[in-house]
Every structure is written in C-alpha cells, then in structure tokens.
Amino acid sequence: MTDLSARDAAVEAFRLRLDQSKPRVEAMLDTLLAPTPSGGNDRRGRLLDAMRYSVLLGGKRLRPFLLIETARALGVGDDGPLRAACAVELVHCYSLVHDDLPAMDDDDLRRGRPTTHRAFDEATAILAGDALLTLAFEVMADAPTHPDGSVRAALCAGLARASGHTGMAGGQMLDISAETATTPLERSEIARMQAMKTGALLQFSVEAGAMIASASSPRRDAFSQYGAAIGAAFQIADDLLDAESDAAALGKRAGKDGERNKATLVSILGANGARRELDRLVAEAQLAITEARLGEEGRFLCFAAKYVASRQN
C-alpha cells in the first residue's frame, strides 16, 4: 500500500469512528439544552431556541471526539468523558456565535445556514453565546462529570485557561489587532496567535481526556504535545481551505482571510510551504502518540492527525 493510499485508508477509518461517536455527543447536547418547564409566558424560550440553533444543527464534533477518544484509549469510557466533551463543545459553539457577529468577522453563513445573529438578532446571539459559555462550566463542574471534585475543579480551570484571555479570547484579540498592524506579523507571532485562538481548546480537549483518566505525568506531557500539534495543524488546514475552497464546500464564506488582511501561515509561507508545515505537524502529533505508549488503542488518535490535515470543510 502506498503512503497516499495508507493515508486515505486512515482518514476513512477515522471518519467512520467520528461518525459513530457523533450520535452520543448529539444526544447529550440535546439533553443539556432541553427546555425546562416554566410557568406563564416565559420569554427566555427565544434564548434557548438560539442556543439550540447554534449547537444542534451541524458540526464535526472533533473536540468532543478527541476528549472521548483520549479517555477511551486510557481505559475510561463512561458518561464522564462524554459530559466533559460536551462542555468543551458548548464553549466552541459559543465562540462561533460571537466570531460571526458584525463587530467580529461579520459572517452570514455558518455550516451552510444563516449565522445565529442572522437567524435571530444580534442581541439574542450575544446572549446565546454568553449562556452557552456559562452552561459549559456548569456541566464541567457538575458531579456526574467526575466523582472527584478536585478533578472537576482542574477541568474547569483548564477550560477557563483555554477559552479566556490566555487562550481563545486572547488569540482572537491578537487576530483582530493584526488586521490593522502597520507591520506584518512574523511567523512566530502568527504561530502564537493561532495556538491561542484555535489550538488552545483543541489541546485542552486532549488534555482533559487524560486528566479524567488519571494519566501519568509522562503520558499527560505526550498528550499535551499531541494536542498542540493537532491544534496548529487544524488552523493551517483551515487557512488553506479559506484560500483555496469556496462557500458551497465550506458551508461559510471563503476568501475572507485575504479580504481582511488576516495574518496566516499561508500568507507568509505560501500554499506549498504551509502544506509542508502541515505534514511536519502531523508527524509530530503521531510521534507524541507513540511516546504515550498506547499501542493499538492510540490508532484513532493517529488517524485524527491525518484527518485534520486532509479535511475538505
């Protein structure tokens, strides 16, 4: 089997595994966002409708998969990792709602449908994002997620770091600032920005699975390295898709990075250079799984790295 056909086979195996995991994630998200009985004319129903619209109608669920699969590879497969995975996905979905707002990326499409602020209105979209973020921490802190309160506290702290000013929100601020910078960002600055904006939550997804499974320190270090490489690879693949694909394939507006003068590795390395860096990151991620000594149990995490590099949307 050639390297190309081996990669294709690995990607197809991963897609099947991802598709198999999605129904459990979707069902738990639906439960977490289920309407609650209320008396009288409760106008909060519109907020919950917007939250459900933002979360339940599409998405690859890659972050939940990484958390669940990491815990599974370490021998933990109950509902605890599933709940933690859904908490991470709630944070991810909140970030998409806010990223799409006119004050941010000003997008009209997300997953092939009108963005939340277009389907509802800006105020409702802002509140929906706020509510999804706070619900995520409620889920993570709740006892069914893990029986040990110290583990739940560590998960909440890790999620806060990954999503706050030292992670996703801080990376978004750097991204916005770069659009009007008088001098282009250097490669190291772009890598740092993307590690915060996109990589931090992906990396935490893997780290959280290891935390829930009480992995040893060497293994947790290996998973952290894997998560960082996956996060960087995901962003490069995303930038390549934005530059080379179209809205029909992506389910969102294409070419916006160039329009807004966004700093990306594609813009400074070119498409071929970015693909070489993508291949390097895939190899780095797979090496980290080897160092975690998971054996056959780690194969789908290795496949995930190949999937991230070859995805089409």
User: Each residue of 123-145: pLDDT tens digit?
Assistant: 999 999 999 999 999 999 999 99
32-52 in b/e form (b: 16+ CB < 10 A) is bbeeeeeeeeeeeeebbbbbb
Whose CA is closest to 234, among 8, 54, 60?
Answer: 60
Task: Output the average pLDDT for the chain.
Answer: 90
Residue 118 is predicted with a pLDDT of 97
Is 41 contained in some domain? no
Is 275 contained in some domain? yes
Residue 253 is predicted with a pLDDT of 60
How confident is residue 57, by pLDDT bands cut at 50, 70 and 90? confident
Is 39 contained in some domain? no
pLDDT tens, 88-103?
999 999 999 999 999 9
pLDDT at 151 over 90: yes
Is 91 contained in some domain? yes
Stated pTM of the model: 0.91
- State percent of the chain over pLDDT 70: 91
Domain span at 56? 3-32+47-310
Lowest mean pLDDT among 7-16, 45-54, 113-122: 7-16
pLDDT tens, 241-263?
988 866 655 555 655 655 566 78
pLDDT at 29 over 80: yes
Is 226 contained in some domain? yes
DSSP string over the chain: --HHHHHHHHHHHHHHHHHHHHHHHHHHHHHHT------S--TTHHHHHHHHHHHHS----HHHHHHHHHHHHTT--SHHHHHHHHHHHHHHHHHHHHHTSTTTT--SEETTEE-HHHHS-HHHHHHHHHHHHHHHHHHHHSGGG-S-HHHHHHHHHHHHHHHSTTTHHHHHHHHHHHHT-SSPPPHHHHHHHHIIIIIHHHHHHHHHHHHHTT--HHHHHHHHHHHHHHHHHHHHHHHHHHHH--HHHHSS--SHHHHTT---HHHHHHHHHHHHHHHHHHHHHHHHHHHTT-GGGGHHHHHHHHHHHH---
How confident is residue 112, by pLDDT bands cut at 50, 70 and 90? confident
How confident is residue 174, by pLDDT bands cut at 50, 70 and 90? very high
What value does the mean pLDDT take over residues 28-33? 97
pLDDT tens, 182-220?
888 899 999 999 999 999 999 999 999 999 999 999 999
Residue 179 is predicted with a pLDDT of 85
Is 282 contained in some domain? yes
Residue 152 is predicted with a pLDDT of 98
Residue 247 is predicted with a pLDDT of 60
Domain count, the chain: 1
Residue 10 is predicted with a pLDDT of 80
The backbone torsions φ and ψ at residue 214, rounded to the nearest 5 degrees and listed phi first, read 55, 45
CATH classification at residue 118 = 1.10.600.10
Lowest mean pLDDT among 148-162, 197-211, 231-245: 231-245
Whose CA is closest to 51, among 124, 151, 104?
Answer: 124
Higher pLDDT among residues 37 and 195, named by residue: 195
Residue 249 is predicted with a pLDDT of 54
Exposure on the CB side of residue 299, measured as CA atoms within 13 A: 12
pLDDT at 26 over 90: yes
